[in-house]
């Protein structure tokens, strides 16, 4: 009996789980892999799942899918929309939604494994299925590797993975070289001197300091990075104060920095830190700002030769018109840790999940950015078909390209 992938997707979408809390999702994935005859290991890197499909002599291919959801309240209006809530790492009760399509990633992976098992008389080698937690924290791949994934399971000859995105359903986006940016998350604590809101002259206002810092940070990219280069400096969170008539002692900023390579990374971080310290000094701060790193993710760089092979295989299966170069994505991923630690090639691609008709209308109307929801939006949800089928076929096609 074949697995009902539509029902699986709907179930996963209705029951999202936050990073490192994906116990239900991991259990479902593990159960399906066992049903398909794989050797399954759970709790790898806290909640990760590894499935091993051995099929004679040949290369070892790692296939990776991530499974965590986001603290977002779903607004898609779908009959299977999530109403789940969870507890975030700070102890806050938050809504939870699969706003980045990881439910689709797991669904496509299970479907791909089912196909590979059914076609095992046509290939030989070993497939290692990696169901990874906590991609949204940039920590899940590292957790699985630190738990001995490369030593406990067959080491890869290549690592393959994919991500659903708001390209038209049926379209594959893949390119050699840099595919996704490197990124760093920074936390900055600006120290002022608190006091009464009616006596600002007796304080050092960290909120004003934070506002000046935020505005000045916008010039790092616009005035200090070559326009031919790609970099992003985003202040995604600011927390300060408890009441309208109290000037607080501190303000906390959280930044997201993105760049395609290490050279530009060093340049951007140096300039960001210079701005933060200079604005604190200009405000008369009596203590240096505290700057700490929340996470660091390397650039996702596709191996040129392996990517050429996968692109050609995709073109033969999906048609040349359906395989495009999507350009460098400024989003970041932790999948490349697997390939980097194993010192093997990586190929990571995108596959479309947007309604092709709606996408074409948005292009014609010039409303693509406003009318087609993107990943992390409360309105984001891929159309189920042909997104599921395309994701399954893409994984199988890429894997079979390297299996004997």
pLDDT score for 1: 62
Instruction: Give residue 362's region: left, alpha or beta (phi > 0; psi -120 to 50).
Output: alpha
What's the Cα-to-Cα distance from 173 to each of 53, 91, 162, 301, 384, rounded to whole Å?
27, 38, 10, 14, 18
Residue-wise burial string across 103-140, b where 16 or more C-beta atoms lie within 10 A, e elsewhere: bbbbbbbbbbbbbbbeebeebebbbbbbbbbbbbbbbb
d(CA 5, CA 110): 8
Helix, strand, coil % (nearest 5) of the chain? 40, 25, 35
Q: Which helix (H) or strand (E) holds 318?
A: helix 304-318
pLDDT in tens, 122-158: 999 999 999 999 999 999 999 999 999 999 999 999 9
Nearest Cα to Cα of residue 264 among 330, 343, 165: 330
d(CA 347, CA 394): 12
pLDDT score for 393: 98
pLDDT score for 404: 87
Q: What percent of the chain has pLDDT over 90?
A: 98
Domains assigned to the chain: 5-179+299-402 (3.40.630.10), 182-296 (3.30.70.360)
Instruction: Give residue 399's region: left, alpha or beta (phi > 0; psi -120 to 50).
Output: alpha
d(CA 206, CA 256): 20
pLDDT score for 261: 86
Nearest Cα to Cα of residue 175 among 314, 340, 60, 317: 314
pLDDT in tens, 221-247: 999 999 999 999 999 999 999 999 999
205 within 8 A of 241, measured Cβ to Cβ: no
Which segments in the chain show pLDDT lower than 50? none
d(CA 21, CA 238): 26
Nearest Cα to Cα of residue 82 among 92, 90, 72: 72
259 within 8 A of 230, measured Cβ to Cβ: yes
């Amino acid at each position: 009996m074949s697995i009902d992938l539509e029902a699986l997707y709907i179930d996963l979408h209705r029951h999202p789980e936050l990073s490192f809390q994906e116990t239900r999702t991991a259990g479902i994935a593990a159960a399906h892999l066992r049903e398909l005859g794989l050797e399954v290991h759970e709790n790898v890197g806290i909640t990760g799942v590894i499935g091993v499909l051995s099929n004679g002599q040949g290369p070892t291919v790692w296939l990776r899918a991530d499974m965590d959801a986001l603290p977002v309240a779903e607004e898609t209006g779908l009959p299977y929309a999530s109403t789940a809530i969870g507890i975030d790492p700070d102890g806050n009760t938050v809504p939870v939604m699969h706003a980045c399509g990881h439910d689709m990633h797991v669904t496509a992976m299970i479907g791909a494994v089912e196909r590979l098992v059914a076609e095992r008389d046509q290939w030989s080698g070993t497939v290692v299925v990696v169901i990874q937690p906590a991609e949204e924290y940039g920590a899940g791949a590292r957790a699985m590797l630190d738990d001995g994934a490369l030593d406990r399971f067959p080491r890869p000859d290549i690592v393959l993975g994919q991500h659903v995105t708001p390209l038209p359903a049926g379209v594959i986006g893949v390119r050699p070289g840099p595919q996704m940016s490197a990124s760093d998350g920074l936390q900055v604590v600006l120290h002022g001197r608190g006091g009464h809101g009616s006596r600002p002259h007796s304080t050092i206002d960290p909120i004003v300091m934070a506002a000046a810092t935020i505005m000045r940070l916008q010039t790092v990219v616009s005035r200090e990075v070559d326009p031919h280069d790609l970099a992003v400096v985003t202040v995604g969170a600011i927390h300060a104060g408890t009441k309208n008539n109290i000037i607080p002692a501190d303000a906390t900023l959280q930044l997201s920095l993105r760049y395609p390579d290490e050279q530009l990374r060093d340049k951007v971080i140096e300039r960001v830190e210079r701005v933060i310290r200079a604005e604190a000094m200009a405000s008369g701060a009596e203590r240096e700002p505290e700057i700490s790193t929340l996470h660091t993710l390397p650039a996702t760089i596709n191996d040129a030769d392996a990517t050429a092979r996968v692109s050609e295989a995709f073109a033969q299966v999906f048609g040349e018109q359906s395989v495009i170069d999507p350009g460098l994505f400024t989003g970041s991923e932790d999948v490349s840790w697997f390939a980097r630690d194993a010192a093997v090639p990586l190929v990571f691609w995108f596959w479309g999940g947007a309604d092709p008709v709606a996408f074409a209308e948005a292009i014609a109307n010039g409303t693509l950015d406003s009318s087609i929801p993107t990943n992390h939006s409360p309105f984001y949800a891929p159309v189920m078909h042909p997104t599921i089928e395309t994701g399954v076929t893409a994984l199988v096609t890429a894997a079979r390209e390297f299996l004997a």
